[in-house]
Amino acid sequence: MGDELKEGKAPIPPAENAAETKATGNLVPGQSAPLTKPDEMPAKKKYSLTSISMYLRCPYQYYRRYILGERRPPSASLTLGRSFSEALDENYKNKMQTGRDMKRALVKEYFDHIWARERHKTAFWKDENPEEIKDRGVKTLDLFHKEVCVKVKPTSVQKEFDVELKNVDYLITGKMDIETKAEIIDNKIASRSWPKGKELIDLQPVIYSLGHPQEKDTPFRFDIGVATKDPKIQQIPRLVELKEKIAFLNMLGHLVFEIEERVKLYREMMAAEGQGDGKVFIGRRDHYLCSWRYCGYAAECASEWGWHIPGKDDVEGI
C-alpha cells in the first residue's frame, strides 16, 4: 500500500499512464489496436490564443482567470477598444455584402451602442472621465472611417481558425480581425502613437499569422487609431516570415506542455493538502503591465506573494 493510502489520502493516478491505458485498452503484445472511426475519435483539447497570451504575459494572471475562473471588470481602455473594434467589424461585415462602407453616422451609432452596453461593467479610475474617453473614441473612429476603412476590402471579418500543434494533442484556436486578399489586418485604438519597432516585439502578428496558409510568409498590418486630442492614424506593416511561424508553433507546443504540467502539479498539491495557493504559477513582475492600474489581480497577487505592486495609490477611491 502506498504512503498516501496509509495516511488516508487518495492516490492520484498518473495522467500519462491513464492516457496510455485508454489508448491501448487490454491488448496483448502483438495484437493490433482496432481502427477508430473518425467520428469516434476523442475531441482534441483546445487552448485559445487569448489564454496563451495571458499565460505569456503573466502565469499568475492565467491561474486566477483560467484555473480559478475569476473574471475582472474590464478597464476603460479595454471597453474603448471593444467598442471601437466591434463598430469597425460591423462596418466591414456590411462592406463584404454591399461593397461599400456604412455611413459614418451608423458606425458611430454602433459604437455608442457597444459603449452603453459595456460602460456599466467597466472599472474606471478616479482620474478617468468616461465621457471624455468616449468622445476621443468617437473622434478617432470618425477619422479612421474616413481615412482607413475606405481603402480596405475585407474578405473575412473575425474569422476563427484552429491550429494543430505538433508533438502534443492540442488545438490552438484564434480569430483574425480582418483578412484582405493581400494581408491580415489588426484594428486598434491606442492612447498614444506606437514607437518605432513596437510591431516587431508585439506577438499579435505572429499569433494571427497562424490562421493564414502555414507554408508561406504572412503580410500583416496594424491599423491604429491614435486617440489623442487631435486623433491620428498609424498604419504599420509587418511581414511574418515562415521561419518565425514555425518557431512560434514549436514554442506553443512547449508552452501548452508547460501549462499542463503546472496544472497537474497544482491539482496534486490540492489533492494532497486540500488546498492550493497558486504558487506553481509565478507572476511576471517584469512585465510593463504589471501594476494596479493594468492588472485586475494585483490585490490577490500582492497578498499571496507579499509583493509590492506599483501604482496602488492611483486606484484608491475608484
Q: How far is the CB of 67 from ligand SF4 (least distance, A)?
A: 13
CA distance 112 to 90: 13
Q: Which residue stretch of 28-36, 108-116, 200-208, 294-302 sits at the interface with ligand SF4 (rule: CB under 6 A)? A: 294-302
CB contact at 8 A, 225 and 144: yes
CA distance 53 to 38: 31
Query: Is 283 near ligand SF4 (CB under 6 A)?
Result: yes
Mark residues 59-98: x for contact with ligand SF4 by CB under 6 A, - for none. Answer: -xx-------------------------------------
State the angle between helix axes of 76-98 and 130-147 in degrees (0 to 180), rounded to the nearest 10: 30
CA distance 213 to 82: 28
Query: Is 312 near ligand SF4 (CB under 6 A)?
Result: no
Residue by residue, DSSP assigns 39-62 as GGSPPPEEEEHHHHHHHHH-HHHH
Q: Which residue stretch of 24-32, 68-76, 86-94, 295-303 sits at the interface with ligand SF4 (rule: CB under 6 A)? A: 295-303
Q: Which is nearer to ligand SF4, 98 or 303 (CB)?
A: 303
Query: Is 280 near ligand SF4 (CB under 6 A)?
Result: no
- Cα distances (angstroms) measured from residue 242 to each of 7, 50, 145, 207, 248: 54, 22, 32, 12, 10
Q: Please identify which residue in 58, 206, 226, 240 interacts with ligand SF4, judged by CB under 6 A.
A: 58
Query: Is 293 near ligand SF4 (CB under 6 A)?
Result: no
Query: Is 276 near ligand SF4 (CB under 6 A)?
Result: no
Phi, psi angles (nearest 5°) of residue 205: -55, -40
**Helix-strand-coil percent breakdown of the chain, rounded to 5?**
45, 15, 35
Q: Strands 232-240 and 184-190: what pairing?
A: unpaired
Q: Which residue stretch of 2-10, 53-61, 144-152, 261-269 sits at the interface with ligand SF4 (rule: CB under 6 A)? A: 53-61
Q: Which residue stretch of 6-14, 31-39, 56-64, 168-176 sits at the interface with ligand SF4 (rule: CB under 6 A)? A: 56-64
CA distance 264 to 119: 38
Q: How far is the CB of 304 from ligand SF4 (least distance, A)?
A: 9
Residues that bind ligand SF4 (CB under 6 A): 58, 60-61, 283-285, 287, 290, 295, 297-298, 301, 309
